[in-house]
Structure 1
Amino acid sequence: MMHDLEIQTTLGQQRKLRVLFGFYLAAFIVLALRLCQLHLSPGNMLSDEEMLHITDISLQDARGEIFDRNGVILATNKKAPSMWVDPRRVRAGEEEKLADLIAGRLGMPRDEALRKLARTDENGKPRKFNMIKRWLTDTPEETLEELRTQSNGALSVIQEPIRYYPHQDSAAHLLGFVNRAGEAGEGVEAAFDRHLASRAGVFRVKVDNARRPLSSSTLAYEEPEGGELLQLTLDVNIQHNLEQALDQRMEETLSKAAMGVVMDPHTGAILAMATRPAFNPNDYDKFPAELRKNRAIIDVFEPGSAFKIVAASAALEHGLVTPDTMINCEGGVFNPYGHSIRDFHKMGVEPFSRCFEESSNIAHIKLAAQLGEARLEEWIRKFGFAARTSPDFPLESRGLFQPRNKWSRLSMGSLPMGQEISVTMLQMARAFAVIANGGHMVEPYYVERAVARDGRVTYQHARGEAARILSPKTAGTMQQLCHQVVLHGTGTAANIMEYRAGGKTGTAQMARTDGGRGYDKDRYTTVFAGFAPLANPRVVAVIVVQEPRIKLRYGGYVCGPVFKKVVSEALAAMNVPEDPVTDPEIVAKHEKEMKLAEAARLAAEKKNAPKKPAKPEPPKQVEKVPEADPDTVTEIPLDESLVAMLTPLDGLDLVARRTGDRMETSLPDLTGLTKRQALERLQRIGIPLDAQGAGWVIAQNPPPGTALMDVAVCALQFGRPGQEPAAEALPGDEPKTTM
């Protein structure tokens, strides 16, 4: 028995020893692990109490600015006020009153304001903070202070970063925008976001019970990195001029939309690119997405006769034709491929130079027939159509062009004159650059470089060697042919006397939108594409105006004046040496126009000179103006350069003031007419126009019924129907009193 008891005691002690050993071993392991943890992560030595009073503060740096080629800021950053509320501080029973005040001052629905003042969220949890409205850039500081005061401190204002575009809607489609969350949307903002975006830093500190950082309590710090600076190839002055010219022409021609591009033909650098109507990237969310897209690179259109440079260049390059080659234009009607082709200018047998000058469809279809289907398709692709022009534009369309195996029997009669193919405006600019630069295919681009905050260049546009697709001889011949289009052909409205220019017009019907097949007879796309100066082309420009609502819906008439204005101003601003027109016929015509303009200027000075009070004279009968002899009536054609001056005939008595076959002796009532209608009416009676505003005529001076003999200029105020005329009198002569 004793032996058994000793054995049991020994076993019990061993069991206790094992338990005790296991306990100490577990404690040792826990202690060792804790020591390792503390050794590897010193910050974790803080107690749970201390951890409750540590916070990470996010440090934001500015997004990179965007500049034009001359260092003008196009996109930058600024602070904008945002209003928030501490619902706990809203006095009980005053929620309705405060919601009314917020709704009235900040322009938001009353119910929404009331919800934002609620003390609990949707889940019933108490709220200490709720944003009322952010980025109140249009709200005066006085209004925000009034709200803060009347809320008894429940409302507060904080300053938040916001992207700012100082030139408002200028170059908006190219720049894109940054949304309220700081995310890039479209344009260069999105395409180069990796360079422009900043990287946030972090500041870990101890805070007191009120969440205020304690001094000398920094636990960690990671410095933020500001976004890189981006320099574009744009010239803000050329950009503004292009936009203003497009806006003006849209108004004059009652057009739905317009776009334009100006490019260096030797490098591909884009100097200006505009799409109208525009949007303001500062208020991007107030505009529909359709209006924000860059139609200059996304939308496609049939180029019409501007596309004839492809067949013409190919035929010249293959030696199938020279400028002097005689081509039978069939009297203006031709029936190849079972389809009737017509020319606007009916011609017989003419040299190719004249056929190109007058944009003969028949001549270019015959050239394409000599090329054959395979070579025509090859040259269309050689000129860059059906392919994207540049990696700078990730959303760019390729255009629409079917491969040869899908052509119809009418394709050879359609493609040479710019039908059965749709292109982007940028593709047209690149094609004309080939002619302007002597035969090379360049790559359009608009971002020159990106520069980090420390001065490092992180991106530089790499200009590769441009492939030659035309011989210098062919390119030179095409330059001369395009110059004749501007001097004597369909593009005379684009002629620049100081800089010889070349180009090609295009007019194309637009596809039907009612679901039917074919074209809409009332909707047109008008195009002018060209370059200048001829001696050494420095710019290529393409102007597109869509759906003009005037009688003369031709590319030369609608788009030519925009090209003339934009290109002449750009070359002068670039200090390009003049390359004046020397053609005797054109010089003589220009000198005549200048004399008319000078006479108008002198007459305007005389009209504006102080007048002596008229002495009372006995009443006398107003004699009827005798009918003018048709042989002595001087007809002066409408010229865009003179229309722009508004007073081409001011004070001149060389033109009989007539309306058709009926003589008018008094000024008609022009109220309710558009600017174009009023201008045409006044031109028929030889009265110059002085226009103010936009819209429809709401006031005129002199008033209707004034004798034409007493009218030197008619001043018209334009506005919306029902709008009251301005209180101040319109400029212009007061009607003379006939005594």
Structure 2
Amino acid sequence: MTTNVLMRKRITQLFLIMGAFLLFLIGRLAWIQFVNGDKLSTEALENRMDDIKVPAKRGTIYDRNGKELVISISSDTVYAIPPEIKKPAETAKKLAEILGLKYEDIYKKITKRSNFVYIQRKVDPEISKKIKKLELPGIDIVEESQRSYPNGNLASHVLGFVGIDNYGLNGIEVTMEKELAGVPGRILIEKDSLGREIPQALHQYKPPQPGNSLVLTIDETIQYFVERELDNIVETYNPKSATIIVMEPKTGGILAMGNRPDFNPNKYGEYPQTSWRNPAIWLNYEPGSTFKVITAAAALEEGVVKPESRFYDPGYAVVSGERIKCWRYPRAHGSQSFEEVAQNSCNPGFIQVGLDLGRERFYKYIKAFGFGQKTGIPLVGEAKGIVIPEKQVKNINLATISIGQSISVTPIQLITAISAVANDGVLMKPQLVKEIRDSQGHLVRKIEPEPVRQVISRSTARQLAGILEKVVSQGTGKNAYMEEYPAAGKTGTAQKAGKGGYSSGKYIASFAGFAPVENPQVAILVVIDEPQGGTYYGGQIAAPVFKNVARDVLRYLNVRPRVSKTELEEKEKRKEVIVPDLINMPLTEAQDILRKAGLASNLEGSGQWVLNQQPKGGAKVLEKTPVILYVGPEAKSVPEGTEVTVPDLTGLTMREAGKLLGALGLKMNPEGSGVAASQKIEPGTKVKAGTTVKVIFLPPAPEPFP
């Protein structure tokens, strides 16, 4: 009895244990099936499926007129599915013969423990046809797209390039990657756990969706103008680098942007990586006298100066114990209006303006014009420039910044600021992309021009444009002068900074301007870094480039010239003559000299004595050009003791200086020979007749262009 009860208990315990275990199995099965079922199913699918991405066809890049700058062409890629290959040795041999590759390399690839390998990408269509005819098991061909740049090096820094996988690596190709790339396709291949072929296996190809296309602000024709001039610069001056940017002031649209050195995006790997960088957006350089446009804009807007304000240049300025020379030193500009200060690019005049502005007001405009910050142009690698923190600025810094030293800018910053002056004081964000369109050509999004801020008033901008026009027509920018299209601009020659100061013999020559003055259509910046051959002044080598580009661009844009074609042809037939120096001559004698030189004369004032002239002596003009003579009554003998005003003798010969002083009753104590470089009694000083004025004469030197 006892034994039976014990047996029943043991049997019951066994059933309970088995029941509990069975319940556990049911619970575990339910957990796997209903809770983790989807996850495990996905993992199982992933474990037996290979998913290979196929890059999509990238969108086309057009210029503003719809001309193709970048296209995608179809190319074939040969790939292998190793588990499906029946005879690897024979297959490798046949592929090696057709593709021109090593047998060992192909055999190694197709015998790998893998479900997918590339044999060769982007092969010639004729080669892919031969491979298809062989119908090799495990070998297949898929269509990919290959980027092509039909114009070679044209606008290479703007366009950029893509890598082997069709991902953007440089230029607009990388910044607009999301729009251009499209949606990749897929190759799906089913396998077993050992990577072997499965009967009736799944092998699918999902085609990619092409990317959107871009319409740029770049104009292919204008870009060609720029590239032509860059090639001429390289051939003539062999610089370290050169940059030209053409911008539309009203919109901020970049019509052209070119650099040397450059590269061919189709073969970018054959060029040094340093040539891939875009100097137009990353080069930090001291702008020199081109920055005087910013100084003048701030001073005019703040009412610190007027065009007629008077300045005196002794050839240098002393600030905080430091002597800063004018580019013309030891010759001085003497007494001049602010308008003439700009025409002559006079350093002491601009230094005085900068100091009068003061740190707070000057920096307000430096920041407002966009210096010390990125412009936001859609290209990689843009630099901010280098601006001394406002709190650390001293008077000596203000003085040097006002003439374009102690501050570094980028070319894109400077052309954007110059365009703001041309655009009635409104600063625009640089624009490269106008429209985004889908693969069928339908408009996806239009990108409107983006105003940033009103930097200076319209009246100040127009006033400054008038001053800059005279810089081109009468001042240091004469080599940029165009008879048919009046231009405004400023030259720049900056010595490059090095260790412990400025580097001897290393300069950056530049010219920045816009045209036509009355209705600016283009703003152009030319920057030439370290030109060789001994000529490095911006007015000599950069200004003519500006003229060549501006003239061709304005004609191409059908901008109406100020003078007719017939008038231009007549003027082109006229010879170029040198204007004689007529100051302090009797009027009849001066007019006779002009007639013999083939020049006309216009009179301002009354009298028989030439007090001043325009253009100045030494200027080159076309024959029959009128020379304005400012005349007045000839000075008579002045009784000794009478108060008279000391004149400005700068630039006069010893004979001319003596004649002028004698007419005023003053005596001269000359020292040296040549032309008057300085005088001990400053112009404008009231003295008594009979006073002796010591005048320093120096040999005349060729006048450089700042």
TM-score, normalised with respect to structure 1: 0.67
Deviation by residue 1:631-667 (Cα, 9 ceiling, x = unmatched): x999xx99999xxxxxxxxxxxxxxxxxxxxxxxxxx
> After the TM superposition, which residues 643-662 of structure 1 pair with which residues of structure 2 at under 5 Å, given as runs?
none
Q: Give the aligned partner of residue 179 of structure 1.
A: 163
Q: Give the aligned partner of residue 216 of structure 2.
A: 232
Deviation at 1:376, TM superposition (A): 2.3
Q: Give the aligned partner of residue 485 of structure 1.
A: 471
Is 1:503 the counterpart of 2:489 in the alignment? yes
Deviation by residue 1:679-721 (Cα, 9 ceiling, x = unmatched): xxxxxxxxxxxxxxxxxxxxxxxxxxxxxxxxxxxxxxxxxxx
Deviation at 1:324, TM superposition (A): 2.3
Q: Give the aligned partner of residue 573 of structure 2.
A: 594
Residue of structure 1 aligned with 2:512, choices 529, 552, 573: 529
**Residues 316 and 323 of structure 2 are in contact (CA less than 8 Å); yes or no, is this contact kept in structure 1?**
no
**Residues 365 and 455 of structure 2 are in contact (CA less than 8 Å); yes or no, is this contact kept in structure 1?**
no
> After the TM superposition, which residues 698-717 of structure 1 pair with which residues of structure 2 at under 5 Å, given as runs?
none
Mark the CA change 1:41 to 1:358 in structure 2 (over 3 Å): closer, same or farther.
closer
Is 1:555 the counterpart of 2:538 in the alignment? yes
**Residues 476 and 539 of structure 2 are in contact (CA less than 8 Å); yes or no, is this contact kept in structure 1?**
yes
Question: In the aligned structure 1, how far is the partner of 2:423 from the partner of 2:146?
Answer: 42
Question: In the aligned structure 2, how far is the partner of 1:126 from the partner of 1:195?
Answer: 37
Residue of structure 2 aligned with 1:546, choices 529, 532, 538: 529
Deviation by residue 1:404-454 (Cα, 9 ceiling, x = unmatched): 432355323311111111100011111111211111121112122333457
**Residues 89 and 154 of structure 1 are in contact (CA less than 8 Å); yes or no, is this contact kept in structure 2?**
no
Q: Give the aligned partner of residue 361 of structure 1.
A: 347
Q: Residue 430 of structure 1: SS of its match in structure 2?
A: helix
Question: In the aligned structure 2, how far is the partner of 1:6 from the partner of 1:439?
Answer: 111
- Number of equivalences: 574
Deviation at 1:19, TM superposition (A): 5.4
Q: What percent of counterpart residues are identical? A: 30
Mark the CA change 1:8 to 1:43 in structure 2 (over 3 Å): closer, same or farther.
closer
Question: In the aligned structure 2, how far is the partner of 1:147 from the partner of 1:174?
Answer: 38
> After the TM superposition, which residues 714-729 of structure 1 pair with which residues of structure 2 at under 5 Å, given as runs?
none
**Residues 339 and 410 of structure 1 are in contact (CA less than 8 Å); yes or no, is this contact kept in structure 2?**
no
Question: In the aligned structure 1, how far is the partner of 2:165 from the partner of 2:523?
Answer: 39
Q: Give the aligned partner of residue 560 of structure 2.
A: 577
Deviation by residue 1:25-46 (Cα, 9 ceiling, x = unmatched): 46655775677589969989x9
TM-score, normalised with respect to structure 2: 0.70
Deviation at 1:161, TM superposition (A): 2.9
Mark the CA change 1:434 to 1:54 in structure 2 (over 3 Å): closer, same or farther.
closer
Question: In the aligned structure 2, how far is the partner of 1:257 from the partner of 1:316?
Answer: 34
Q: Which amino acid aligns with 2:12?
A: Q
**Residues 259 and 275 of structure 1 are in contact (CA less than 8 Å); yes or no, is this contact kept in structure 2?**
yes
Deviation at 1:163, TM superposition (A): 2.0
**Residues 56 and 184 of structure 2 are in contact (CA less than 8 Å); yes or no, is this contact kept in structure 1?**
yes
What is the root-mean-square deviation in Å for CA atoms of aligned residues?
A: 4.6
Q: Give the aligned partner of residue 227 of structure 2.
A: 243
Residue of structure 1 aligned with 2:56, choices 48, 61, 72: 61
Q: Give the aligned partner of residue 258 of structure 1.
A: 242
> After the TM superposition, which residues 170-319 of structure 1 pair with which residues of structure 2 at under 5 Å, given as runs?
170-202=154-186, 224-319=208-303
Question: In the aligned structure 2, how far is the partner of 1:472 from the partner of 1:411?
Answer: 29
**Residues 317 and 351 of structure 2 are in contact (CA less than 8 Å); yes or no, is this contact kept in structure 1?**
no
Deviation by residue 1:356-412 (Cα, 9 ceiling, x = unmatched): 112111211122222223322222222221121125245321111102432355323
Mark the CA change 1:40 to 1:577 in structure 2 (over 3 Å): closer, same or farther.
same
Q: Residue 249 of structure 2: SS of its match in structure 1?
A: coil
Question: In the aligned structure 1, how far is the partner of 2:388 from the partner of 2:47?
Answer: 68
Question: In the aligned structure 2, how far is the partner of 1:40 from the partner of 1:253?
Answer: 71
Mark the CA change 1:201 to 1:181 in structure 2 (over 3 Å): closer, same or farther.
closer
Is 1:519 the counterpart of 2:502 in the alignment? yes
Q: Give the aligned partner of residue 71 of structure 1.
A: 66
Deviation by residue 1:272-293 (Cα, 9 ceiling, x = unmatched): 1111111112222222221101
Q: Residue 509 of structure 2: SS of its match in structure 1?
A: strand
Mark the CA change 1:43 to 1:20 in structure 2 (over 3 Å): closer, same or farther.
closer
> After the TM superposition, which of the residue ranges 562-571 and 425-434 deviates more from structure 2?
562-571
Mark the CA change 1:461 to 1:157 in structure 2 (over 3 Å): closer, same or farther.
closer
Mark the CA change 1:183 to 1:13 in structure 2 (over 3 Å): closer, same or farther.
same
Q: Give the aligned partner of residue 476 of structure 1.
A: 462
> After the TM superposition, which residues 80-99 of structure 1 pair with which residues of structure 2 at under 5 Å, given as runs?
80=75, 89-90=88-89
Mark the CA change 1:116 to 1:425 in structure 2 (over 3 Å): closer, same or farther.
same
Question: In the aligned structure 1, how far is the partner of 2:130 from the partner of 2:190?
Answer: 35
Is 1:398 the counterpart of 2:381 in the alignment? no
Deviation at 1:11, TM superposition (A): 2.6
Deviation at 1:319, TM superposition (A): 2.5
Question: In the aligned structure 2, how far is the partner of 1:401 from the partner of 1:547?
Answer: 23
Mark the CA change 1:464 to 1:119 in structure 2 (over 3 Å): closer, same or farther.
closer
> After the TM superposition, which of the residue ranges 34-43 and 226-235 deviates more from structure 2?
34-43
> After the TM superposition, which of the residue ranges 588-597 and 472-481 deviates more from structure 2?
588-597
Q: Which amino acid aligns with 2:68?
A: I
Deviation by residue 1:565-622 (Cα, 9 ceiling, x = unmatched): 222222222222323499xxxx99984533579xxxxxxxxxxxxxxxxxxxxxxxxx
Q: Residue 528 of structure 1: SS of its match in structure 2?
A: strand
**Residues 109 and 117 of structure 2 are in contact (CA less than 8 Å); yes or no, is this contact kept in structure 1?**
no
Question: In the aligned structure 1, how far is the partner of 2:66 from the partner of 2:168?
Answer: 22
Deviation by residue 1:154-177 (Cα, 9 ceiling, x = unmatched): 999876432222222211111222
Q: Residue 506 of structure 2: SS of its match in structure 1?
A: strand
Q: Residue 301 of structure 1: SS of its match in structure 2?
A: coil
**Residues 399 and 423 of structure 1 are in contact (CA less than 8 Å); yes or no, is this contact kept in structure 2?**
yes
Q: Give the aligned partner of residue 375 of structure 1.
A: 361
Mark the CA change 1:277 to 1:36 in structure 2 (over 3 Å): closer, same or farther.
same
Deviation by residue 1:90-124 (Cα, 9 ceiling, x = unmatched): 479x99x999x999x67xxxxxx576256489xx9
> After the TM superposition, which of the residue ranges 288-297 and 453-462 deviates more from structure 2?
453-462
Mark the CA change 1:218 to 1:403 in structure 2 (over 3 Å): closer, same or farther.
closer
Q: Residue 410 of structure 1: SS of its match in structure 2?
A: helix
Deviation by residue 1:37-56 (Cα, 9 ceiling, x = unmatched): 89969989x9x9x9998665
Q: Which amino acid aligns with 2:264?
A: N
> After the TM superposition, which of the residue ranges 343-352 and 206-215 deviates more from structure 2?
206-215
Mark the CA change 1:291 to 1:52 in structure 2 (over 3 Å): closer, same or farther.
closer
Mark the CA change 1:240 to 1:37 in structure 2 (over 3 Å): closer, same or farther.
same
Mark the CA change 1:640 to 1:199 in structure 2 (over 3 Å): closer, same or farther.
farther
Q: Residue 365 of structure 1: SS of its match in structure 2?
A: helix
Query: Any gaps of 5 or more consecutive residues in structure 2?
Result: 577-595, 599-617, 623-706
Q: Which amino acid aligns with 1:401?
A: V
**Residues 116 and 132 of structure 1 are in contact (CA less than 8 Å); yes or no, is this contact kept in structure 2?**
no
Q: Give the aligned partner of residue 416 of structure 2.
A: 430
Residue of structure 2 aligned with 1:565, choices 538, 548, 570: 548
Q: Residue 417 of structure 1: SS of its match in structure 2?
A: coil
Deviation at 1:315, TM superposition (A): 2.2
Q: Give the aligned partner of residue 10 of structure 1.
A: 8
Name whichever structure is richer in strand by fraction.
2
**Residues 354 and 362 of structure 2 are in contact (CA less than 8 Å); yes or no, is this contact kept in structure 1?**
yes
